[in-house]
Amino acid sequence: MNSFAILKKNRQLIIFPILSGISLLLMMGIFILGIFAVAGWDVDYINTDNDVVNYAIMFLFYFVNYFVVVFFNMALIHCSKLYFNGEEVSVSIGLKFSASRIGVILSWALFAATVGTILKIIQENSGWLGKIITGLVGIVWGYHHFFCSAGYCL
């Protein structure tokens, strides 16, 4: 909620969610184009029978997705903290901070993508009880990821 209040007072910071959204759309477009290109631009040729390849693509998709979201969330949270400390706030300061933490962001994205992929594999290959359990674990994981991507774990 504090971030929303800061966004109202510093409209320039709205660029972080916008950049995050644009980056995610571009990333999805690249993945879709890549899949079509590998299939020779023939939709009927897209092969979904190879689970290893499917899970590898899913993992890569999760990894890039988590990286983008955490990168821009961390920039916004950093600017929020600066604002509450009475310091100067700008888009470039937020981006520089996130860039300075690139190793941590990559590590978190790798971890989050691994957990997300494992949960998806278990969910797809288990019975109804396994689906319920992974669904509950997924909810807990989602809350954990939200708070960590907001800067409370990094």
Here the tokens at position 36 are: 């079509």
Q: Are 98 and 74 in contact (CB under 8 A)?
A: yes
- Residue 90 sits at the vertex; the CA angle it makes with 88 and 95, to the nearest 5 degrees, is 125
Residue 18: predicted pLDDT = 87
From the CB of residue 146, how many other CB atoms can be counted at a distance below 10 Å?
Answer: 12
pLDDT value of position 147: 59
Q: What is the helix, strand, coil percentage profile of the chain, to 5?
A: 85, 0, 15
pLDDT at res. 2: 61
C-alpha span between 33 and 61 (Å, rounded): 13
Query: What pLDDT does residue 146 have?
Result: 58
- Asked if 44 and 124 count as a contact pair (C-beta separation under 8 A), the reply is no
Per-residue pLDDT of the chain (154 residues; tens, 9 = 90+): 566 676 777 778 888 888 888 998 998 888 888 877 877 777 666 666 777 888 888 899 999 999 999 999 899 888 888 888 888 888 899 999 999 999 999 999 999 899 888 888 887 777 777 777 777 776 776 666 555 555 555 4
Contact 141, 115 (CB under 8 A): yes
